[in-house]
Amino acid sequence: MTSTWDPGRYLAFAGERGRPFVDLVARIDATDPRIVVDLGCGPGNLTSLLADRWPAAAVTGVDSSADMVRAASDSPAAERVVFHRQDLRDWLREAEPGQVDVLVSNATLQWLPEHLELLPALAGAVAPGGWLAFQVPGNHLAPSHTLLAELAAEPPYDVHTAGAARVGAHDAATYLRALQALGCEVDAWETTYLHVLHGEDPVFTWVSGTGARPILHALPEDLRGRFEEVYKARLRAAYPDDGHGVVLPFRRIFVVARVP
């Protein structure tokens, strides 16, 4: 079943979600790129930061979600960024080799099980001396994800969620070695952010906008509400609020590579 993205829910914690993007872009040492592309641009709020960083560049945002591209095209960012809908893999197949000076992908590649095998194509789309930079979440072993997987595997949910998409990523060293093998100079690292979230069931709000989305959409309406209530209860136990907000540790993996 194909699930949709909710830009409003995704932006519920826009500041927290945006911080890794800012940290990633800060490590790109490009001075005057002509063409900058954001693969998996979402609602465009972060892509606009690329236009801020390199105002003379032609900046393009690409996303496979019609809802996200629509939100991006209706945002102020559209005054400086061209947004269009396309699957990342289709974009790679159609991209001319060596045409992009800065290629960014933020919290997108984890949705593609074969993304490690796509690294040669991603690097190949970058001009000699240009930059490939991406960030993926590395929190698949966190309670937010393990509790989700455990509940989804229980009846009566399991028959509906078995084929739902799951996020997955490699460690920083794996990406570093893969890109070094392509001749790139690579800076790879990881950071665990401690996000302090407020509101009712904030961890559920966070994950329902991203990692839990395919499973929730795979469930029929008569089961989804029950699933959500059980999942929320388990998340509250795993992430208690001590009166100062809920702490959500979130591991992120970063890679910045300069193409030879």
- Is residue 12 predicted with pLDDT exceeding 80? no
What pLDDT, on a 0 to 100 scale, did the predictor assign at position 3? 47
Q: Are 260 and 128 in contact (CB under 8 A)?
A: yes
Backbone angles phi, psi at 252, to 5 degrees: -125, 145
Half-sphere exposure of residue 55: CA atoms within 13 angstroms, side-chain side: 1
pTM here is: 0.91
Say which CATH topology domain 7-140+166-196+248-258 has.
Answer: Rossmann fold (3.40.50)
Question: Torsion angle of alpha carbons 48, 14, 175, 132, nearest 10°?
Answer: 0
What pLDDT, on a 0 to 100 scale, did the predictor assign at position 10? 41
Q: Are 136 and 110 in contact (CB under 8 A)?
A: yes
What are 218-248's pLDDT values in tens digits? 999 999 999 999 999 999 999 999 999 999 9
- Is residue 8 predicted with pLDDT exceeding 60? no
What pLDDT, on a 0 to 100 scale, did the predictor assign at position 240? 97
b/e per residue, 109-127, with b = 16+ CB within 10 A? bbbbeebeeebeebbbbbb
What are 59-114's pLDDT values in tens digits? 999 999 999 999 999 999 999 999 999 999 999 999 999 999 999 999 999 999 99
What pLDDT, on a 0 to 100 scale, did the predictor assign at position 211? 83
Structural domain spans, the chain: 7-140+166-196+248-258
Q: How confident is the model at residue 11 (pLDDT cuts 50, 70, 90)?
A: very low
- Pairing state between β 81-85 and 58-63: parallel
What are 205-217's pLDDT values in tens digits? 999 988 898 999 9
What pLDDT, on a 0 to 100 scale, did the predictor assign at position 165? 82
- Is residue 54 predicted with pLDDT exceeding 60? yes
What rounded mean pLDDT belongs to the chain? Answer: 93
**Minimal CA–CA distance to 139: which of 230, 43, 214, 207?**
207
What pLDDT, on a 0 to 100 scale, did the predictor assign at position 4? 52
What pLDDT, on a 0 to 100 scale, did the predictor assign at position 115? 97
